[in-house]
């Protein structure tokens, strides 16, 4: 039998299907992996924004993760929205117990609409409990500032300083996502603990950007689970996201910001 990479998403649910575990599972599948999900929070959201959040109890988050690892050999883990400090502890305990590898931590703290998805109480526990378990931490500009303190990065130099600061706080490797920089190409910066690597791609003219951060981190986890090294995984994920954005630019999903199209290779464009 051929080997199939098995990737677990621990994240919130997006009923509109563009982000969260729904978006992660689509990304895993599009990249030829078997996707699984442990849900940490339920959200009421759509392409217009987040209307409500319901946190899954920590003991049940733990039970979901335990059930997966008890039965299936997990090749990589992507962590997204956690929602509460007690869930951070539950996730960390289960991942330590399972000896989880290739953990990609996408610290989802605030939705693009501004709705809080974790609040200030999860920042310190994420740093203390999950940074040491991660192979890569992938904050966007706002999340990097919330986790490390200080002002939000405004340029490549700021992003380098922020990556170093997060590394000093315990993250073994950091990808600071610069998609929200106002000018130039879509620029992300990887610091692996020794070297910086820059990743740039042309910006795609599209309003369908819902879940792009989830898609990038999920794609990185998928490629790590398939055996790629860190730089290769990030580069491949960037290419995948850019193609998904281009393919999804003409899709009409909702009245607001729809998602990219992860199945561009199967469905074609539009």
The predicted-structure confidence for 160-187, as pLDDT tens digits, reads as follows 999 999 999 999 999 999 877 777 788 9
In a domain, 113, yes or no: yes
pLDDT band at 42 (very low <50, low <70, confident <90, very high): very high
In a domain, 65, yes or no: yes
Residues carrying an active site annotation: 177, 209, 211-214
pLDDT digits (tens, 9 = 90+) for 121-167: 899 999 999 999 999 999 999 999 999 998 999 999 999 999 999 99
CATH number of 21's domain: 3.40.1190.20
How far is C-alpha 214 from the chain's CA centre?
4
Mean pLDDT of 226-231: 98
pTM (whole model) above 0.85: yes
How far is C-alpha 40 from the chain's CA centre?
14
In a domain, 172, yes or no: no
In a domain, 174, yes or no: no
In a domain, 260, yes or no: yes
Mean pLDDT rounded to a whole number for the chain: 93
Task: Report how far residue 7's alpha carbon sits from residue 29's, in angstroms, rounded to the nearest whole number.
Answer: 10
Task: Report how far residue 8's alpha carbon sits from residue 226's, in angstroms, rounded to the nearest whole number.
Answer: 13
In a domain, 122, yes or no: yes
Domain total in the chain: 1
Which pLDDT score is estimated for 114? 54
In a domain, 53, yes or no: yes
In a domain, 102, yes or no: yes
Task: Report how far residue 100's alpha carbon sits from residue 102's, in angstroms, rounded to the nearest whole number.
Answer: 7
**Token pair belonging to 269:** 């464009």
pLDDT band at 270 (very low <50, low <70, confident <90, very high): very low
**What is the extent of the structural domain holding 131?**
6-137+207-267
């Amino acid at each position: 039998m051929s080997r199939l990479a098995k990737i677990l998403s621990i994240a919130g649910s997006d009923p509109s299907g563009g982000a969260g575990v729904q978006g992660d599972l689509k990304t895993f599948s599009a990249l030829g992996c078997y996707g699984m999900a442990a849900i940490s929070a339920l959200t009421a959201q759509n392409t217009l924004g987040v209307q409500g959040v319901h946190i899954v109890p920590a003991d049940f988050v733990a039970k979901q993760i335990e059930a997966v690892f008890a039965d299936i050999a997990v090749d990589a883990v992507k962590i997204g929205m956690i929602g509460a400090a007690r869930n951070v502890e539950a996730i960390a305990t289960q991942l330590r117990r399972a000896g989880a590898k290739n953990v990609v931590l996408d610290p989802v703290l605030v939705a693009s609409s501004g709705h809080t998805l974790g609040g200030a109480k999860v920042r310190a526990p994420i740093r203390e409990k999950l940074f040491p378990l991660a192979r890569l931490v992938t904050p966007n500009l706002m999340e990097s500032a919330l986790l490390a303190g200080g002002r939000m990065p405004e340029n490549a130099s700021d992003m380098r300083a922020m990556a170093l600061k997060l590394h000093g706080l315990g993250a073994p490797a950091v990808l600071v996502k610069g998609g929200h920089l106002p000018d130039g190409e879509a620029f992300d910066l990887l610091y692996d603990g020794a070297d910086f690597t820059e990743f740039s791609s042309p910006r795609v003219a599209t309003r369908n950007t819902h879940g792009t951060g989830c898609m990038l981190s999920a794609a990185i986890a998928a490629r790590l689970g398939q055996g790629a090294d860190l730089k290769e995984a990030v580069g491949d994920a960037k290419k995948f996201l850019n193609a998904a954005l281009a393919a999804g630019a003409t899709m009409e999903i909702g009245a607001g910001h729809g998602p990219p199209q992860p199945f561009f290779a199967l469905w074609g464009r539009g």
